[in-house]
Structure 1
């Protein structure tokens, strides 16, 4: 696997001051967003946040992505750790197909049904870059911020010791209740 890595740079934000490092795998580029004290932490808090352009950038109310990213960045700024910004839009179906999935959701499909109808799996994300980031940053033990049992399983399969799971609970709204219920009931997310 060919991975390109950037240098580490400063990133002052509205949440606090961070350090960032970019990783390029094939055509996708991902970020490690680290608290300033990251190198001094024995067991950092970690969030693997999957990209959601419509939520993270445009503030879509159809999902809870922006709220989870906001929660994670505030938490990491306060307690120290790392957010991996995993750039695999729409569970790795891409932006064009995600918009097509949105159109199917407008007709009553849930997120899984929409992805399957478009010819994709319910979740096509590839976490191999996460393994490389953990290795590069020398992570062996973490406190994981997630609701997703598949992320827990994957990270544990890397030999990473998850000493604590912190739920990423945010408020739902009338536009994302069905989405959140699908994640809970069909994908086993822990809320």
Structure 2
């Protein structure tokens, strides 16, 4: 098993979640001591996790999660994940990794470059930043603290599954999320497929990208 410091649960509190579309569910929110990056990540436990819970690693997106930005698919993915995990039983790890961990201001700077024609990854590179700076060691610590050793991962991103496996977490299956396209995010989603092999329907996204360019 990879050698990294153990984290421990700091507090557990019941939180009733209410979404704009009327969906409601009660969750247990867990905080932690000893996370390697020192950030205030949260585990949102939903339903009865069971021996192989459904788990999502959701990177914080203020613009999408809070303000409903249509430039990404983060808000709809978060909403979908909460319901799917609650139905089956599992954990949503809400990770403070804004903009693939380049930070909010840098993400907005990257948006400005995307408006000039760069894709989401090229924009990061043009700013002298990594295409994706996320590290999931803290996520593995959180899962270990919750006694989750085997899981099904709700994600289109193969890197999340790969990193978790390298960190000693058994990812039994990777379960794709829904596809949430808008006229504003279709090029972003297509870049995810081409650059980082996200499991999204490329032909469909390409057609939508062509339509949005007209």
Same fold (TM over 0.5): yes
SS at match of 2:42: strand
Aligned length: 189
Match of 1:186 in 2: 195
Structure label with greater radius of gyration: 2
Superposition map of 1:41-80 within 5 A: 41-80=50-89
Match of 2:182 in 1: 173
Q: What's the offset of the Cα at 1:170?
A: 2.5
138, 143, 151: which one pairs with 2:160?
A: 151
Q: What's the offset of the Cα at 1:5?
A: 4.6
Decide whether aligned partners of structure 1 residues 3 and 81 sit closer, same or farther in structure 2, where only a CA change above 3 A counts. closer
Per the normalisation by structure 2, the TM-score is: 0.83
Distance in 2 between the 1:61 and 1:166 partners? 23
Decide whether aligned partners of structure 1 residues 64 and 17 sit closer, same or farther in structure 2, where only a CA change above 3 A counts. same
98, 105, 112: which one pairs with 1:103?
A: 112
| Structure 1 unaligned spans of 5+ | none
Contact between 1:91 and 1:123, CA under 8 Å: does it hold in 2? Answer: yes
32, 42, 47: which one pairs with 1:31?
A: 42
Per the normalisation by structure 1, the TM-score is: 0.93
Q: Could you list the runs of 4 or more consecutive aligned residues of structure 1 that deviate by over 3 angstroms after TM superposition?
A: 1-5, 23-27
Q: What's the offset of the Cα at 1:3?
A: 5.6
